[in-house]
């Protein structure tokens, strides 16, 4: 017959296993603060988040699955996937103690859903791809970031205008607590650069275009760009 201490240990082990298997994702959300403004369903091993706010938009379906190695080390470490018309992707993330990180992620997004620019410069059909090696946030500030971005939005706009505008390539980095995206591209009709910074709830930055095309210059002027020293520039600000 098993001693009482052995029975208690066995019962405790089964209880812990049950808690691990059926631990609701909402409990982790409440502790970490992630997804408090969204609908959270399922367990930490197979959960779903709907309506998570990202800038001015609330995302559709986000699937999350806890990784056991992260759980045992005291972190909420999980795989995620996003299925939304404006953003699709997958990767890994961890959260806890006032911060979170995203690693080994890839996503395709429509920038017009998250950044509003004047003059219809961005079409809802224009796409950008993002490859994230690492993004680390702590207490609302960007601490470390590495990754690559490519956007064909400007090229697509050029096709609509009958102009040769470049696709933009760039990198991710942290600057003064913000996540910065540095983009540039060159074509026969224009040289373009953009410096965009994102913090929770706010997007700021500047776009610069050098062009000898009167048609492109007319579109830039109508879209709010200002000409100074042969360079068209636009200040970007939004939520």
Q: What is the pLDDT along the chain (239 residues), one digit of tens a residue?
A: 445 444 344 434 333 444 444 444 544 444 445 555 667 777 777 777 877 777 667 778 888 888 776 666 666 788 889 888 888 999 998 877 778 889 999 999 887 676 666 555 666 677 889 999 999 998 889 999 999 999 888 888 788 778 888 999 999 999 999 999 999 999 999 999 999 898 877 888 899 999 998 888 988 888 889 999 999 999 887 66
**Per-residue pLDDT, 148:** 96
- Report pLDDT for 4: 44
Give the containing element (helix H, strand E) for 10. helix 4-22
Res 70: pLDDT: 62
Domain boundaries, the chain: 24-94
pTM for this one? 0.75
| Cα torsion 82, 152, 105, 235: sign | negative
Amino acid 37: pLDDT: 63
* Cα 72 → chain centroid: 27
Task: Please report the pLDDT score of residue 72 as a whole number.
Answer: 61
What pLDDT, on the 0 to 100 scale, is given for residue 48?
Answer: 75
**pLDDT confidence of residue 129:** 92
What is the DSSP code string of 89-154? EEEEEEEETTEEEEEEEEEEE-GGGT---GGG-S-TT--EEEEEEEEEEETTEEEEEEEEEEE-HH
CA distance 106 to 148: 10
Q: What is the pLDDT of residue 23?
A: 47
- For residue 132, the model assigns a pLDDT of 94
């Amino acid at each position: 017959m098993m001693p009482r201490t052995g029975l208690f240990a066995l019962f405790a082990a089964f209880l812990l296993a049950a808690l691990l298997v059926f631990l609701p994702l909402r409990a982790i959300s409440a502790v970490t603060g992630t997804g408090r403004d969204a609908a959270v369903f399922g367990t930490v091993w197979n959960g779903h988040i709907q309506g998570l706010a990202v800038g001015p938009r609330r995302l559709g379906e986000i699937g999350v699955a806890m990784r056991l190695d992260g759980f045992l080390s005291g972190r909420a470490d999980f795989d995620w996937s996003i299925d939304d018309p404006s953003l699709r992707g997958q990767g890994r993330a961890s959260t806890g103690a006032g911060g979170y990180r995203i690693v080994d992620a890839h996503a395709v997004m429509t920038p017009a859903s998250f950044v509003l620019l004047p003059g219809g410069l961005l079409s809802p059909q224009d796409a950008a791809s993002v490859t994230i090696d690492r993004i680390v946030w702590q207490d609302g500030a960007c601490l470390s970031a590495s990754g690559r971005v490519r956007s064909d939005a400007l090229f697509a706009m050029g096709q609509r205008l009958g102009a040769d505008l470049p696709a933009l390539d760039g990198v991710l980095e942290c600057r003064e607590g913000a996540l910065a995206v540095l983009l540039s591209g060159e074509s026969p009709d224009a040289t373009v650069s953009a410096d965009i910074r994102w913090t929770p709830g706010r997007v700021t930055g500047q776009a610069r275009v050098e062009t000898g095309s009167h048609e492109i210059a007319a579109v830039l002027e109508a879209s709010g760009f200002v000409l100074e020293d042969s360079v068209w520039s636009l200040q970007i600000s939004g939520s």
